[in-house]
Structure 1
């Protein structure tokens, strides 16, 4: 192919060891994206991942009838062929405990792949829920890129920060094949919410870090914080550090992840309302039934965009919420689709260990990923000299677009907190989907000015300087909320040694609502109630 990487001459095998199931010389992978990019594909050894049996060696080439006869004599039957004696390649989902909990674990995929990695018992993190059958998974097999899964084992993610080297490789955590740099940690774990910190670098496939400052030795990095609540909604505070302009880099891509045997068509409805984009007044759906929906970009160039829903073949579908400046169809760098799908599909990530940042799928026999859309931001919520911060809501749920509008409005246009007594309000912190209050007395009361345009939806309160280790008694409009699934609380210790009470309540309203919190309930009573 013109302009391609030069392939080495075929080696002379006489006098060398016979190798079956692995290439004897390093090559770049077959069907790469941007084959002209020398930095994007490093020649490597690759071995067969499967079973080989009935091997016979001949000193001549067999004829067609001889090959057919050999196949007939050794064919084991469709039962053995379709169900071989080998580990099923099913992406790991965790322990399925049925509780709202976050835990460290060691997720297993299948023996051959697991035996390659060198991680201990507490390398991965899973967050699951008691009222939503989805989960968030931070797994080394995905370079710890956070995934959302549903009961049908359909995986999804909203990507990461990605930057570019002009004419070279992409800088992204996908290229951290062994998770040498990318890592996660659980930094808050209470009945009210779970907070996960994911730190990663934008590295190229050859290990070079993007936008490396030779004077300081620092390059592009990201710190993303996931505030995950019992309703299955994660609020992401995304901080990106760069010597370049961090706002110009990529912050979102809608990515489906598939186990061997799955396709974009099997996890999502590619032919009917594949993607729905919406704001608070209008919505429009797109599909891949004919050609790629290129009109998507023009539809949202000047129209506000806040909501995206991917039509997965499940009751629980991926959603994404933020103040976006527009969207675009995901397109392959060289404009090609998978031969078995109407969409672009890749196999270089996840799971793959080959040093390449782009390989197109030929068949659905490997773990793979596909792209739906890119959603763009304009400006940042906060910005410094070499960093920018943006926010996003995401998850999988059974909400309609109209219900997602309510959730979006409660976060993007939250009800004002007024008439506070016993505390000092810092207002609504969109980056953690919570109202922040400094406690000045043993009790605190306030009013959330809910309305149709500023709805209250499962609010969270972060009460700093909370006196002591006791939890609170909550009343809403004078009615006591019983501890349990409608009221979840937990105490964390801040870095200054003071206590902070985090309160989550399952409550919705579109009118002014009075809240009163009183320090009365012991912590062990709350734990017992939730366990029941």
Structure 2
């Protein structure tokens, strides 16, 4: 696994890019000719992005988003971390119009993609709605996700699975499946998803997947939990909605295509954290998503989402609730934004704990601060793991482990310093 900067060509254009690669047939790219918008490169000229933060002004009809920043006045990307276990990139941008004017003076966003060897990333979107001026007036909506497919000049019809091009499913496997193309529900080509599918208001997970020919399928998911995905419930708009307790979801005419710099694109479904005219998120506001690509079935994505959202119970080291004391190891909790179980080792040469999953834990990530050795051994239930079953990364006194296993039962984990 590696993260690096390079010159990248797509759709006949060449520009600076940050790339994250792992041993999968897809990779993560952030490219200057596409305003450094973060995409999954699915191979042979097909890219997918789960979008960015976007708002809209009723004053002038403009969308304010990084897509408008053709001159890269505000958009920039950097590599924060690169190693065998994890890569992390940071994309900063402003919500501007085609004139490079920023909504409310200083509306910006920071996105952090934390990527692991399984080719899955947590997308952490930190929005900074503007408060510097009244420019743009009151917002119409704040959009945080859209399923957008782009090609480098290949017709969309040639890469999409026409029988089932897009699905949206819940944590229970309730599934909406759409062919290519779907009829336009409204003259302008979009409608609230809950108009035709009111059952989505009762879902906990929202898992979207685009089905491609001869390539891995990109996906993005989020959970209806305001701790990690704040939202205002669906409300009546000029084209109707259900007023249910769920984030506003908009279904696009999937046959709708637009030309972009020699390529084609298609939008499938979008999510607005707020679609209440005149309201805005707090400054700052954080949304988390799990995104990547897969060659496995839909059930795997449900399991993956459950693994991310429902961490195992950790028994052994005391939790850090009232500060640190004399214990050799403390459990600092689970980080949704990093998919990581976090420990701090105060003394000694090992970390022991019991992992008790309520759902299967897929490829657990373990972070240990206070590490003092150049190497590590890992055991599950007393059996040492082979080096092919885990990856280790050391940075200063921090150890990061990625375990290439699915943990389905109570498991005793031992992590021991080597070469100290």
- Which category describes the TM-score, using the shorter chain as reference length? 0.7 to 0.9
- Per the alignment, residue 239 of structure 1 pairs with 126
Give the one of 228, 253, 269 matched to 2:161.
269
- Paired with 1:246 and 1:435, the residues of 2 have a C-alpha distance of 38
Pairing 1:471-482 to 2, within 5 Å after superposition:
471-482=375-386
Maintained 8 Å contact 2:251/2:270: yes
SS of residue matched to 1:420: coil
- Per the alignment, residue 6 of structure 1 pairs with none
Q: Shift of the alpha carbon at 1:177?
A: 0.8
SS of residue matched to 1:197: strand
- Paired with 1:509 and 1:378, the residues of 2 have a C-alpha distance of 37
- Paired with 2:67 and 2:300, the residues of 1 have a C-alpha distance of 33
Q: Shift of the alpha carbon at 1:197?
A: 0.8
Give the one of 207, 211, 217 matched to 1:317.
217
- Per the alignment, residue 363 of structure 2 pairs with 458
Give the one of 171, 176, 179 matched to 1:287.
179
- Paired with 1:220 and 1:297, the residues of 2 have a C-alpha distance of 29
- Paired with 1:134 and 1:289, the residues of 2 have a C-alpha distance of 25
SS of residue matched to 1:473: strand
- Paired with 1:226 and 1:110, the residues of 2 have a C-alpha distance of 24
- Per the alignment, residue 372 of structure 1 pairs with 268
Maintained 8 Å contact 1:425/1:437: yes
- Paired with 2:41 and 2:333, the residues of 1 have a C-alpha distance of 33
- Paired with 2:11 and 2:213, the residues of 1 have a C-alpha distance of 26
Q: Give deviations 1:459-513, integer Å, cap 9, x for gaps.
A: 1111112225x121111111111224x21111224xxxxx211111101022111
Q: Shift of the alpha carbon at 1:343?
A: 1.5
The answer as to 2:42 corresponding to 1:141 is no
- Per the alignment, residue 227 of structure 1 pairs with 114
Maintained 8 Å contact 2:170/2:203: no
Q: Give deviations 1:159-209, integer Å, cap 9, x for gaps.
A: 000012223211111011122321111111111111111111111110101
- Paired with 2:139 and 2:395, the residues of 1 have a C-alpha distance of 32
Shift in alpha-carbon separation, 1:378–1:436, aligned structure 2, 3 A: farther
- Per the alignment, residue 85 of structure 1 pairs with none
SS of residue matched to 1:103: strand
- Per the alignment, residue 390 of structure 2 pairs with 487
The answer as to 2:340 corresponding to 1:429 is no
Maintained 8 Å contact 1:297/1:328: yes
- Paired with 1:295 and 1:199, the residues of 2 have a C-alpha distance of 30
SS of residue matched to 1:254: strand
- Per the alignment, residue 5 of structure 2 pairs with 104
- Paired with 1:148 and 1:170, the residues of 2 have a C-alpha distance of 24
Pairing 1:484-523 to 2, within 5 Å after superposition:
484=388, 486-493=389-396, 499-520=397-418
Shift in alpha-carbon separation, 1:247–1:411, aligned structure 2, 3 A: farther
Q: Which moved more, 1:198-207 or 1:151-160?
A: 151-160
Structure of greater relative contact order (alpha carbons < 8 Å, 6+ residues apart): 2
- When normalised by structure 1's length, the TM-score is 0.65
Q: Shift of the alpha carbon at 1:233?
A: 0.2
SS of residue matched to 1:251: strand
SS of residue matched to 1:252: strand
The answer as to 2:254 corresponding to 1:393 is no
Pairing 1:24-103 to 2, within 5 Å after superposition:
100-103=1-4
SS of residue matched to 1:411: helix
The answer as to 2:46 corresponding to 1:150 is no
Q: Give deviations 1:128-172, integer Å, cap 9, x for gaps.
A: 111x11101111111110111223432111000001222321111
Q: Which moved more, 1:164-173 or 1:242-251?
A: 242-251
Shift in alpha-carbon separation, 1:179–1:194, aligned structure 2, 3 A: same
Shift in alpha-carbon separation, 1:278–1:179, aligned structure 2, 3 A: same
Q: Shift of the alpha carbon at 1:433?
A: 0.8
Maintained 8 Å contact 2:173/2:299: no
Maintained 8 Å contact 1:224/1:239: yes
Give the one of 278, 282, 302 matched to 1:405.
302
Give the one of 202, 205, 212 matched to 1:302.
202
- Per the alignment, residue 445 of structure 1 pairs with 352
Give the one of 343, 358, 362 matched to 2:255.
343
SS of residue matched to 1:180: coil
Maintained 8 Å contact 1:134/1:148: yes
Q: Give deviations 1:414-458, integer Å, cap 9, x for gaps.
A: 11222127411111100111111111222111111113xx22110
Q: Shift of the alpha carbon at 1:275?
A: 2.5
Shift in alpha-carbon separation, 1:155–1:183, aligned structure 2, 3 A: same
- Per the alignment, residue 65 of structure 1 pairs with none
- Paired with 1:151 and 1:110, the residues of 2 have a C-alpha distance of 13
Maintained 8 Å contact 2:46/2:150: yes
Size of the alignment, in residue pairs? 370
- Per the alignment, residue 357 of structure 1 pairs with none
- Paired with 1:146 and 1:399, the residues of 2 have a C-alpha distance of 23
SS of residue matched to 1:425: strand
Q: Shift of the alpha carbon at 1:305?
A: 3.4
